[in-house]
A and B are shown apart, each in its own frame.
Chain A
């Protein structure tokens, strides 16, 4: 079984809809991250969480919110989706040191029409 799972894997939605992307991990890590990837570009950090009670904005958090329901679960919400949020979304998890490897999920492809 995969260490980091994301649901759904693909989603098509309309402008103005609320969307939730879910991430679960079995690594037992405290740190979890949400990234966004646009075509031909690297990943950009949306939000990160160091533990259940510690959630922080990344470089592109506008238009997104997150919820850390448990150590193993970290959800990303688009309150009112817009077309320029069409992208590939990755969840990741890591241990507590900045040298610890980040483990990425398989990604969610989101299309906002």
Chain B
């Protein structure tokens, strides 16, 4: 199963954009890229997913590199409620979500 690499932690000021990077150099052609986040004392929740093209939804945007070896989750205006651990996960036709340790995002007021 392909693995992902993320920074352990990042900080952002409130109301500013946040770019959370993820490296997945061993990604295969059929792997989807998923992002979930885990707020304190909660289960993970879905943020966004994509295959090749950049994706936008009401929560965030996902920018996928042309070679698909990396991706970036973009929160356009961070709020205090966005403080969480963000997980970048690959899936390829199976049930398997391989969670790494994620990036702990701290949002400063």
Q: How many A-B residue pairs have CB under 8 A?
A: 49
User: Which residues on the B side are within 8 Å of A104 (C-beta)?
Assistant: 43-45
Contact flag A98-B44 (CB < 8 Å), given A42-B100, A44-B99: no
Residues of B whose CB lies within 8 Å of any CB of A are 32, 36, 41-46, 49, 87, 91-97, 99-102
Complex: A28 Cα to B88 Cα, angstroms: 26
Map CB proximity to B onto A43-67 as digits: 1 under 8 Å, 0 otherwise.
1110010100000100000000000
User: Which residues on the A side are within 8 Å of B45 (C-beta)?
Assistant: 104
The reply to whether B101 and A41 contact each other, CB–CB distance below 8 Å, is yes
* Majority secondary structure, A binding face: strand
User: Which residues on the B side are within 8 Å of A105 (C-beta)?
Assistant: 43
Closest to B6 in A: A42
User: Which residues on the B side are within 8 Å of A42 (C-beta)?
Assistant: 87, 99-102
User: Which residues on the B side are within 8 Å of A45 (C-beta)?
Assistant: 95-97
